[in-house]
Structure 1
Amino acid sequence: MNLNKEMVLKIIDNALREDIGTGDITTQAVIDQDQEMTADILAKEDGIIVGLDVAFWVFEYLDSSVEFRPLVKEGERVARGTVIAKVSGLTTSILTGERLALNFLQRMSGIATQTAYYRSLVKDYDVRIVDTRKTTPGLRILEKWAVKLGGGANHRFGLYDAVMIKDNHIRAVEGIQEAVKRARQNIPHTMKIEVETESLADVKEALAAKADIIMLDNMSFEMMEEAVRLIANKAIVEASGGITAENIIEVAKTGIDVISLGTLTHSIKSLDISLNF
């Protein structure tokens, strides 16, 4: 995926409407309209910086005359105390855009930093760390971009770009094989089919249905190992559910191909970043 500016500008427009409303009362009341200043954007803890373009687009959207100068690269790891960018221009424009620009930078950098941490835990194993659809509504493109810059990979973007047959689909049509059969009849031949499984019986049924990807959902390590043995490279194997920093190495040891983690986007700590004149 790429960071589509047109999509991001729609997010920025909505966010600025929410934040500014009828106007930045404090800034308008306190600051001279023609005053100009320069501000440093500072990383207050170690981490991976993502969202510099988005922060720039916030200021650009408010005032095209604002100058935004990144001092580090997108996706670069920095130490606490690093000045990551400088912003120059009308003081009113900088103050009005400050909070939103920082919100994006902090959250995206937090996601990238957490992704890099999980990736480092399994660096010795041939396994991919991927995200899920458990993202903040309306911010998916930003959060998935941050995962990618943190060294992870992206799962499907939405319901429209991949087939993923989950437990409720299976219950609704009374079986994995029937669900896969219906999917194959109604999708292009170029599209893969993923099936979520909860037991070894499910795995065997998904294999019989010739699923392209088999997800092992909330399985024990022992069950995962047996599932990998049963699948025997006939499908890509994904593990999901209940995976934490404490057990991810044991999951990787089972021989699965992909680990999907909702925690990359739904349970992150934003990186501490500030803007100072």
Structure 2
Amino acid sequence: MNLAPLPAIMVEQAVRAALLEDLGRAGDITSDAVIPAGALAKVALVAREPGVAAGLDFCRSAFALIDPAIVFAPRLGDGARLRPGDVLADISGPARGILTAERVALNFLGHLSGIATATQGIADAIAHTKAKISCTRKTTPGLRFAEKYAVRAGGGANHRFGLDDAILIKDNHIAIAGGVARAMAAARAGIGHLVKIEVEVDTLAQLDEALAHAPDAVLLDNMAPEMLRAAVARINGRAIAEASGRINAQTAPGIAETGVDLLSAGWLTHSARVLDIGLDFVG
């Protein structure tokens, strides 16, 4: 997998905020009271269940920010497929610092690995088609960049990162603007030459109206597979065809087999189950 790492400054900013939240006003009073100041420890990040790794740089950053003397030695990288018992990384150094950073490190790793695992499940299910699975803007505030990275780690594609990436004309835009044609004409007149336009439709009549204005992409919302096939035939390669609604590992193959280019699912980032990864004491 050709997965480019996130810039360290982006990772550190998010991890620093999480650590400050956890440290509160007095720091880790438990570890400071219970663990001798000079104590050293060796621990390992271990997968408790199958999945896909994502977020190891967030782990590394958490330990480094608490104590630069902590050594973080990864055995696997983001995007790696995990089996129960797999060791993702070995960590050694000052015991207090390891325990202080543990929860923030695991929070990031479990959450992002859960997203990558959910994404990979759908990517595997539709691997026999040309379609790709994509995320949406339904992300945790402040963590969009990290969650979209996790989608990439799981073999998925990213949709817009924000409102300024591209124009996406949705149902409420259409209703307030006075129809598909008016909304698209206004969008076309108000953007620069590098900005793409996608329009959401839920009927074939709306699709025909949208296609008359040459969109770059069409979001086919909550259409049954039979209607999706008809929509793909009408689009006939003139725009990217994106399907959304009711997409999971069970429904995705049937939707992808209609010939759409993308399947988008918001739950990948807002509701994916955390992957169980533990920090085990070694010595």
Distance, in Å, in 1 between the alignment partners of 2:58 and 2:191 is: 35
Tell me which amino acid in the other structure corresponds to 1:5: A
Partner of 1:141: 145
Partner of 2:24: 21
Distance, in Å, in 1 between the alignment partners of 2:225 and 2:21 is: 46
CA shift at 1:267, angstroms?
2.0
Partner of 2:212: 208
Distance, in Å, in 2 between the alignment partners of 1:276 and 1:229 is: 54
Distance, in Å, in 1 between the alignment partners of 2:57 and 2:10 is: 13
Distance, in Å, in 1 between the alignment partners of 2:256 and 2:24 is: 48
CA shift at 1:142, angstroms?
1.1
Residue deviations 1:104-146, cap 9 Å, x none? 1111111111111101111111111111111111111111111
Find the residue that maps to 1:135 and give its secondary structure: coil
1:124 pairs, out of 103, 125, 128, with: 128
1:58 pairs, out of 44, 62, 67, with: 62
Distance, in Å, in 2 between the alignment partners of 1:264 and 1:155 is: 12
Partner of 1:253: 257
Distance, in Å, in 1 between the alignment partners of 2:249 and 2:95 is: 43
Q: Residues 216, 104 of structure 1: CA spacing in aligned structure 2 closer, same or farther, 3 A cutoff?
A: same
TM-score by length of 1: 0.96
Tell me which amino acid in the other structure corresponds to 1:97: A
Between 144-153 and 246-255, report the one with greater CA deviation.
246-255
The runs of 5 or more residues in structure 2 that have no matched partner are none
Give the share of equivalent positions with the same residue, in percent.
Answer: 47
Superposition CA RMSD, Å: 1.2
Distance, in Å, in 2 between the alignment partners of 1:47 and 1:220 is: 30
Which aligned segments of 4 or more residues in structure 1 are displaced greater than 6 angstroms? none
Written as runs of structure 1 = structure 2, the 5 A alignment for 1:1-277 is: 3-22=6-25, 23-277=27-281
Find the residue that maps to 2:243 and give its secondary structure: strand
Find the residue that maps to 1:110 and give its secondary structure: helix
Distance, in Å, in 1 between the alignment partners of 2:64 and 2:279 is: 16
Distance, in Å, in 2 between the alignment partners of 1:71 and 1:261 is: 31
The runs of 5 or more residues in structure 1 that have no matched partner are none
Distance, in Å, in 1 between the alignment partners of 2:48 and 2:247 is: 29
Find the residue that maps to 1:95 and give its secondary structure: helix
Report if the CA contact (8 A) 1:42-1:273 is conserved: yes
CA shift at 1:244, angstroms?
2.4
CA shift at 1:2, angstroms?
5.3
